[in-house]
């Protein structure tokens, strides 16, 4: 073992959504068969069980600490994990979800991926609606991210926009900042459309449910379209207001009311959480991908939609423009009428939909291939180990 490059990946908070998808894909893509590396994954139980790596060079440890209160997770990071790291004596500790060890006994790579702490729109329009205790914990978490950044050797973000937003609040020296674009397994989304002509135009929104995902603006836009007599369309969404009832989501009652409105209720299908293996089918069966989010650090669904060749209507955020370029039309995420107008624009122009889809497919292949992300990730580990 002494000749191995030992790498600990702390992903105990990767419970769902993009974080869970990311760590599953990463675990299955790292060069785990290379004899000179040994990886130690610390994961929530469902993902530890899902990652079936049968090799002598990987150790997968299951822990439910990511589901416990924030203060317990903090103590686990700083005390329990520190004890584990001292026993393993790794060359690199990779903390994959914003918070790192404040006094790491080895080199540390910190992946900063939660955009909410640094988003102008979130801070202005959503955080003020939260409870006092939520806001207090929010500020504490951002302070801990700042301390984690200060104590890390490399700070990695998935986009330039995310790095710029972080730097509005926390100094990140140039010598430790790295932008490593995420990506998707392109072949998985290389699917021919199975849409049947004559059916309603299908809008797709793939996301977990949360207030910053901005389902509200999308539902209001759908209501506007229905009030104007548009009936040849439908919305399919994995973001359902009934999800995560234990989480404080300020827009929940508004979204429930909009989703149940007599003009739109029969034009919406909520799928609930979709297993990752089934996600490509939903893109293939849709006509337009809508992305109304108020804050993102990368936006995996944007790349998945591009890889499938779907035209995109996206929030006019720097991150969406950085990822999509000319593969999308953009709208003001606070203006449902603007979104409704852009949906009608694409609905009525099949040629524009086709051009956006073709451009997006090429962009996904050249800029956001998952294998390129993994290669850069390994180079980062090797460079500091």
**Distance in angstroms (rounded) separating the CA atoms of residues 302 and 327:** 10
Phi and psi angles of residue 38, each rounded to the nearest 5 degrees, phi first: -135, 125
Q: List, by residue range, all CATH 3.40.50.2000 domains of the chain.
A: 5-183+370-384, 186-367
**Distance in angstroms (rounded) separating the CA atoms of residues 325 and 159:** 13
Residue 304: other Cβ atoms inside 10 A: 24
Give the CA angle between residues 96, 100, 104 to the nearest 5°: 125
**Distance in angstroms (rounded) separating the CA atoms of residues 132 and 113:** 24
Beta strands in 32-101 (DSSP E): 37-43, 58-62, 92-95
Cβ neighbours of residue 203 closer than 8 Å, sequence gap 6 or more: 222, 233, 234, 235, 236, 286, 287, 288, 289, 290, 343
Contact of 175 with 127, CB cutoff 8 Å? no
> What one-character DSSP code corresponds to residue 78?
I
Ordered per-residue pLDDT tens for the chain, 385 residues: 456 789 999 999 887 777 777 888 888 888 766 778 889 999 998 877 777 655 678 888 999 998 998 889 999 999 999 999 999 999 999 999 899 999 999 999 999 999 999 999 999 999 999 999 999 999 999 999 999 999 999 999 999 999 999 999 999 999 999 999 999 888 889 876 666 666 789 999 999 999 999 999 999 999 999 999 999 999 999 999 999 999 999 999 999 999 999 999 999 999 998 988 899 999 999 999 999 999 999 999 999 999 999 999 999 999 999 999 999 999 999 999 999 999 999 999 999 999 999 999 999 999 999 999 999 999 998 888 7
**Distance in angstroms (rounded) separating the CA atoms of residues 384 and 367:** 25
**Distance in angstroms (rounded) separating the CA atoms of residues 170 and 153:** 15
Q: What tokens were used for 306?
A: 């591009």
Cβ neighbours of residue 125 closer than 8 Å, sequence gap 6 or more: 294, 334
Q: In CATH, which of 3.40.50.2000, 3.40.605.10, 3.90.79.10, 3.20.20.140 is domain 186-367?
A: 3.40.50.2000
Q: What is the pTM of this model?
A: 0.92
In sequence order, the β-bridge partners of residue 107 are: 92
Q: Which fold does the domain 5-183+370-384 belong to in CATH?
A: Rossmann fold (3.40.50)
- For 46, 192, 320, 342, 344, the CA distances from 330, given in Å and listed in that order, are 37, 25, 9, 8, 13
């Amino acid at each position: 073992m002494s000749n191995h490059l030992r790498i600990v990946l702390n992903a105990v908070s990767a419970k769902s959504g993009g974080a869970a998808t990311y760590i599953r894909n990463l675990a299955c893509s790292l060069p785990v068969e290379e004899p000179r590396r040994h990886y130690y994954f610390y994961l929530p139980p469902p993902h530890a069980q899902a990652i079936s790596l049968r090799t002598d060079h990987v150790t997968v440890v299951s822990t439910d600490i990511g589901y416990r209160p924030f203060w317990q997770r903090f103590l686990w990071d700083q005390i329990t994990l520190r004890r584990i790291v001292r026993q393993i004596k790794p060359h690199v500790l990779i903390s994959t979800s914003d918070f790192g060890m404040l006094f790491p006994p080895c080199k540390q790579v910190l992946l900063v991926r939660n955009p909410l702490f640094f988003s102008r729109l979130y801070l202005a329009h959503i955080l003020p609606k939260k409870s006092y205790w939520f806001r207090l914990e929010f500020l504490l978490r951002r302070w801990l991210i700042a301390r984690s950044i200060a104590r890390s050797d490399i700070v990695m973000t998935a986009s330039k926009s995310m790095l710029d937003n972080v730097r509005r609040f926390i100094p990140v020296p140039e010598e430790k900042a790295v932008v490593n674009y995420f990506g998707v397994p392109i072949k998985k989304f290389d699917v021919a459309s199975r849409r049947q002509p004559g059916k309603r135009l299908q809008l797709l929104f793939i996301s977990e449910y949360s207030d910053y995902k901005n389902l509200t603006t999308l539902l209001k836009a759908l209501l506007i379209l229905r009030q104007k007599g548009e009936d040849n369309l439908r919305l399919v969404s994995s973001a359902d207001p009934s999800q995560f009832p234990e989480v404080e989501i300020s827009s929940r009652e508004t979204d429930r009311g909009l989703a149940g409105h007599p003009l739109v209720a029969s034009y919406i299908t909520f799928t609930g959480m979709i297993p990752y293996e089934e996600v490509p089918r939903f893109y293939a069966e849709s006509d337009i991908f809508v992305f109304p989010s108020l804050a993102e650090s990368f936006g995996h669904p944007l790349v998945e939609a591009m890889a499938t060749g779907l035209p995109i209507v996206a929030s006019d955020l720097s991150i969406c423009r950085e990822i999509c370029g000319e593969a999308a039309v953009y709208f003001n995420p606070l203006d449902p009428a603007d979104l409704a107008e852009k949906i009608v624009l694409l609905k009525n122009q099949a040629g524009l939909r086709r051009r956006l889809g073709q451009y997006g497919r090429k962009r996904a292949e050249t800029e956001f291939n998952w294998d390129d992300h993994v290669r850069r990730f390994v180079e980062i580990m090797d460079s500091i180990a």
